[in-house]
Structure 1
Amino acid sequence: MSTTERPRILVVGGGYVGLYAARRILKKMRYGEATVTVVDPRSYMTYQPFLPEAAAGSISPRHVVVPLRRVLPKAEVLTGRVTTIDQDRKVATVAPLVGDAYELPFDYLVVALGAISRTFPIPGLAEQGIGMKGIEEAIGLRNHVLEQLDKADSTTDEDVRRKALTFVFVGGGFAGAETIGEVEDLARDAAKYYNNVKREDMRFILVDAADKILPEVGPKLGAYGKEHLESRGVEIYLSTSMDSCVDGHVVLKNGLEVDSSTIVWTAGVKPNPALARYGLPLGPRGHVDTATTLQVQGTDYVWAAGDNAQVPDLAARKAGVENAWCPPNAQHALRQAKLLGDNVISGMRGFPQKDYSHANKGAVAGLGVHKGVAMIVMGKTKIKLRGRLAWYMHRGYHGMAMPTWNRKIRVFADWTLQMFLKREVVSLGAIESPREEFYEAAKPAPAPVSTPAPEKAKTS
């Protein structure tokens, strides 16, 4: 870590908002005007809308992440966590990956921690559940699903087979609907290469406490998405929840009980709980309370945006919606990050701040290859698309929203190759414990057990 007499702009979090805000600040900043420091426990940013496609093998996992040091060469990137912040002294405590924690002074602060999975105290969830917030989880889910097909193909135990081929997804928003759509596609394609596994042997279940899925695209497209998934054999249970899943035995509120080796949890997100230790004003649900300028209420040196911020939705309020807040999606995160970067520069130079206002442009969702829904908002007109055209809209929008041309080109190359080559269905389950085989080969052989020689018979 370098030391400098220049003002330090501390960016806590290297996700979508943190990356784009830091890029914007570095672009607008004069040479030597300040030091930009980005702190995140990972050295890369993950583009979360592509996690379902990474889990299905449509995109290489490496192409879904953006290395922070490569994209922010003029910034100071620290791999660690900001555990606490002393607002009076303007000092952050950083816990690195290894070694002792240390204090890091700052002059301006950007809070971009994002969100974590919203969970409930359901028996068995912590031990059995698989999340979908990081690229590691997407890779793990893909390997896990293909491993279940391997198990089912090789066993003669019907109970083991049934449990392996039952897949339960909890949460019917974008993450849940897109993930079950992509994974069902993957399993359907993979089953063609197994002698003893067919798609008809598998059971896909989607559970949501709400009375509809895909609420972000509106009721009609949400209903179409539900009908489409059901036409592919997905069982959808709405207005219900999961009571327990101990040892993979799933019990739903509606009385259904199934045994499943795969329980994917995508039932919403919540702000990072570390925010409670930052000494900032928080909203009722734990978000940082910000003004329309993205400045944290009551401060002139702290900004926040994205999933961890409670940002007033000026566009919705102008349309007559009271107490409207910006939803946690990539559309708002990208635009908030750019304005946040501009406002940090303005604040540092003593210029006025600008308000954030962005009218919703719609939403897109992919439900597998050539399948999707899209709602495009143009003024007061809403254009609703479904099927292949909506799927193209989904890929086009997110492909262009992917940070850096390096990653854009790689993602589009993956999609292009997929048009001509069959889906890869290799399971790399051993990646979870890569040293196990070497350990077995290298560990000392057990000492031989000596047995006494049999006594010779006595002869008289």
Structure 2
Amino acid sequence: MPKILIVGGGYAGFYTAWKLEKWLRSGEAEVTVVDPLPYLTYQPFLPEVAAGSIEARHTVVSQRRHLKKSTVLQAKVTGIDHASKTATITPPVGEPYQFEYDQIVVTGGAVSRTFPIPGIAENAYGLKTVEEAVAIRDRLLTNFDKASQLPAGPERDRLLTVTVVGGGFAGIEVFAELRSYASSLLKYYPTLTFDDTHFHLIEAMGRIMPEVSLETSHWVIKHLAQRGGEIHLDTQLKSALDGKIELSTGETFESDLIVWTAGVMANPAVVRGSDLPVEERGRIKTRADLRVGDEDEIVEGAWAAGDISAVPDLSGGGVGGYCVPNAQHAVRQGKLLAKNIVAVLRGEEPKQYLHKNMGAVAGLGVGSGVFQSGKLSLKGFVAWVAHRGYHGLAIPTWERKWRVFWGWWNNFALDRDIVSVQAVQHPRAAFEEFASRPKPPAPAAEPAAAPAVSAAAPAEAAAK
């Protein structure tokens, strides 16, 4: 049977495998999915995970549970030699090995794109993984616990200052969600007030959320300002060394929680180890039918989709003529990619990807949101309901949808959980502190010294 290798189990990879299982006939092909993580992360929910509105495990989808006909390997693809149609798979345990394939699907996704700003690599959190979202939530809660026991002053201000870098959708959502969460925590900390908390968002451009109209973005800025959020436009972060924020405007302040959302880039760990063609921004060159290549050349047997690929946007709405890296495109590309692979295996022609942006929806904290589709703009509570409804239904599998909606209902009835489990990042600390250890062996006894004999003793004995 033909072997189909899918590199990456995120949106595009998961949906490609999921739909291949549905459309392939029995014995028509073997599907193998390789990903370092055993789950898909539904990234639009990460701001709500960071704000305690969604249980972290509910925003990830198990690959093994739902890809029942595919082989799922928890490993990394560290090399692709398409000329010989072999991939190097590096498992977490054991030696790397070669995997031969007939069709390869590269959906390695994207990672946070950072700049060499002092202190960012050492102090900031990204917002691409569920682990980062959980760490942000726990850091905020732990900082409230610490600050509540300190007198007013620089150290307390530092603990209660949150800085978000990047004014795109991810940045605005996590900024607004954390602001909402911090406000809801104050009732549990009588020694702290609203004025003790400080929230800063830094955006290098002159506006936020380019996916929505300028009027809508202005409403978001005004809305967040009324809730205590300060947005710095046309401002660059110069340094975050030791948590001291220095802005291009000359303003400085200290912040213990820094979140970086200023852009993404194609996963370099996959791209650099491949012999597939790459365009100037580091993405795999991809045709509109999702085959690797360009208008003049097709790389037979190679496909790409999602954030790692440069897919032409035939609707005309893409930045630079290409589909923007978001879940809306990745999911739909994955579905079409599965259809196109099946078509090629059966001697048919693949179809081109064409999807017009349906709009943008963002949550701005519990009870508030924004929605934009064409000229239609919704704000406030109605948009928040639309945000939750859309993403609650968009997360794959009914098993996960049910967990998310059930969690929202529980939070409505019982309020959000406020317990920090930051200690889970060092789970053996308590055990190690009190664990008994073998006593060190007693030092070996030194051999007894021989009795000293003077040099004159032999002469005296001979005289006698």
1:186 offset after TM fit, Å? 1.0
Other-structure match for 2:93 = 98
**Does structure 1 residue 422 correspond to structure 2 residue 415?**
yes
The equivalent position to 1:375 in structure 2, one of 365, 369, 372, is: 372
Of 111, 121, 124, the match for 1:129: 124
* 1:263 and 2:258 matched: yes
Matched residue, 2:344? 347
Match of 2:285 among 274, 289, 292: 289
**Conserved? CA contact 1:39–1:78, under 8 Å:** yes
Instruction: Give, in angstroms, the shift of residue 195 of structure 1.
Output: 2.5
Equivalent residue in structure 2 for 1:389, among 378, 382, 385: 382
Partner in structure 2 of residue 454 of structure 1: none
Higher alpha-carbon Rg: 2
- Provide the C-alpha distance between the structure 2 equivalents of 1:285 and 1:178, rounded to a whole number of angstroms: 26
Contact 1:208-1:237 within 8 A present in 2 as well: yes
Per-residue Cα deviation, 1:223-277 (whole angstroms, up to 9, x for no partner): 1111111111111101111111111111111111111111100101111112122
**Contact 1:293/1:353 (CA < 8 Å) preserved in 2?**
yes
| Offset, 1:300 | 2.0
Per the normalisation by structure 1, the TM-score is: 0.92
AA of the residue aligned to 2:36: P
Is 1:220–2:215 an aligned residue pair?
yes
Query: Residue in 2 aligned with 1:113?
Result: 108
Distance in 2, matches of 1:12 and 1:434, equals 32
Q: Does 1:313 align with 2:313?
A: yes
User: 1:456 matched to which residue of 2?
Assistant: none
Q: What code does the residue aligned with 1:328 have? A: P
> Once the 2 structures are TM-superposed, how far is the Cα of residue 205 of structure 1 from its aligned partner?
0.3
Describe the shift of the 1:258–1:446 C-alpha distance in structure 2 as closer, same or farther (beyond 3 A). Answer: farther
| Identical columns (%) | 47
Structure 1 equivalent of residue 454 of structure 2: none
SS in structure 1 opposite 2:245?
strand
1:197-236 alignment, distance < 5 Å? 197-236=192-231
| Structure 1 unaligned blocks of 5 or more | 1-5, 448-460
Q: For the aligned residues, what is the CA RMSD?
A: 1.5
Correspondence 1:356 to 2:353? yes
Q: Which residue number corresponds to residue 332 of structure 2?
A: 335
Amino acid at match of 2:396: P
1:39 pairs with 25, 34, 39, which one?
A: 34
Is the 1:300–1:347 Cα contact (8 Å) retained in structure 2?
no
What is the alpha-carbon distance in structure 2 between the residues aligned to residue 243 and residue 322 of structure 1? 27
Distance 1:130 1:446, change over 3 A: farther
Alignment match, 1:455: none
2:46 paired with 1:51: yes
Distance 2:128 2:78 in 1: 21
Quick one: distance in 1 between partners of 2:97 and 2:151? 56
Q: Following superposition of structure 1 onto structure 2, how do residues 140-219 of structure 1 map, counting pairs within 5 Å? A: 140-156=135-151, 158-219=153-214
Q: What is the CA deviation profile of residues 345-386 of structure 1, one whole-angstrom value per residue up to 9, with x for unaligned ones?
A: 111222101011111111101110111110124xxxx21100
Secondary structure in 2 aligned to 1:341? helix
The corresponding residue for 1:450 is none
Structure 2 unmatched ranges of 5 or more: 441-464
- TM-score after normalising by structure 2: 0.91
Please list the CA deviations of residues 382-411 of structure 1 after superposition, one character each: whole Å capped at 9, or x if unmatched. Answer: 211000011111111111110000001111
